[in-house]
Amino acid sequence: MRLASACAQAAAAILANRLRSGLGALAIAAAVSTLLIVNVALDGIQQYAAVTTARTFGADTFLIAQVASPGSISRSALRDQLERNPPITRGEAAFLYRHADGIVRYAPNAQARADVVRGHRRSERVPITGTTSTLAAIRDLNLVNGTFFTEDDDRAGSPVAVIGADIAETLFPDGDPIGGAIRLAGRRFDVIGVQGRIGTGSFDQYVWIPIRAFERALGAPRSLQLFAAAPRQEGATLAEDRARTSMRAVRSLDPAVADTFDVLAPEAARGFVANLSSRIGAAAVPISLMAMLAAVIVVANTVLVSVTQRTREIGLRRALGARRGDIIREVLAESVLLALIGGACGAMMVALALAAASPALPIPLGIDRPSVVIALAAAAASGILAGWLPAVRATRLDVIAAIRSE
């Protein structure tokens, strides 16, 4: 009953000073919005990383390469790795194929850049990948139009190409790319497939062609990359172990010698992003705390002014028998109620902003219930902190002096 009465009086005090109370609530709303935006952004980074890693690698796929890193790498580190790791040759790739034993499937990748032309339209320095038909299954390529090339295309080195979404939009803005012709390195290639939009880096600008056609047009690659995967999901770990063992065997590496090649799995990319997001979160925590501290100061000033204006009322109530606990309860109720109003407004603003921005975002984002509960709890805690000093000050007023004040 006392709590209900305190809340009613707190609401009346807030309504009696709408402008000042609104400023205090606005400060809390800004702090809560900052807290929620940071949380949503970090969740979004991890979701986006998971989605794009799956699209880029494929499920349970790993990459064997001369140098492979989930993030950026310095020039000196790259130079050191290139000196340590020799190029992966076609002979080594053939050894891996022979010793796959049904445990692992491989798709070679040769990389180069070339201008891709159709009529007067041109895409410059497009990443060209020479590979085999196995890649479509290994990397779960999602073709929105047409098909990937076949084993017959692999053997013949057919002049066919699968193009990324950006290439399709640039070179075929008004028509269906399937059956159309493009030219790269002076050679004609017929488009047989269009890759669905991935939305990561330059992957939407890729062109895939059979590896033998790649070698005819662009020459033999200095080093191959190998995408690999297990035929069945439950054999992913065994497949990676077999691939690593085969590479060490073909290079005659002693057990004490480190790998002279890199193996990059999706977990490494996701781990890199998780580490990055944790660093961003650590940097964002002080910002959120500063915003909350500023809000506490604003609310404390608001409640302190309210207590000052009610000095006579508080003195009369003390003279009539009100206890110090009653006064503290009422002041804290006003402070907490003001903070909760601001917190609720902040959560609503973030939710509305995310709903409005969702069509333009690559992944759907929203505020989950635990985040809202934590944000409101933080708002309530800031309200208690902001209201404690004014509440204690109100209980220490001299009753006679308070009654005489105007």
| Residue 1 scores a pLDDT above 50 | no
Domain layout of the chain by residue ranges: 2-52+270-404, 61-265
Looking at residue 315, what is its pLDDT?
A: 66
**What's residue 360's pLDDT?**
74
Give the tokens for residue 355. Answer: 């709903």
Q: What is the mean pLDDT of residues 267-293?
A: 72
Percent of the chain with pLDDT over 90: 33
What's residue 71's pLDDT?
64
pLDDT value for 109: 92
pLDDT band at 387 (very low <50, low <70, confident <90, very high): confident
- Look at residue 201 and tell me whether its pLDDT is greater than 60: no
Pick 288 or 124 by higher pLDDT: 124
Angle at which helices 324-357 and 266-309 cross, to 10°: 140
> What is the structure's pLDDT at 69?
75
pLDDT value for 39: 82
pTM: 0.65
Rounded Cα distance, 21 and 13, in Å: 9
Q: Is 255's pLDDT higher than 70?
A: yes
User: Would you state the structure tokens that stand for residue 113, as one six-digit string?
Assistant: 């850049």
Express each pLDDT in 137-163 by its tens digit: 888 778 899 999 999 999 999 999 999
The structure tokens listed for 280 are: 């961003």
Is the pLDDT assigned to residue 86 strictly greater than 80?
yes
Going 68 to 69 to 73 to 79, the CA torsion angle's sign is negative
| pLDDT: which is higher, 155 or 395 | 155
What is the average pLDDT across 108-117?
A: 94
Q: Is the pLDDT of residue 375 over 50?
A: yes
Q: How far apart are CA 201 and CA 198, in angstroms?
A: 9
Query: Phi and psi at residue 175, in whole multiples of 5°?
Result: -150, 180
**In the predicted model, what is the mean pLDDT of residues 7-35?**
79
Q: Which of 175, 177, 173, 171 is nearest to 190 (CA)?
A: 177
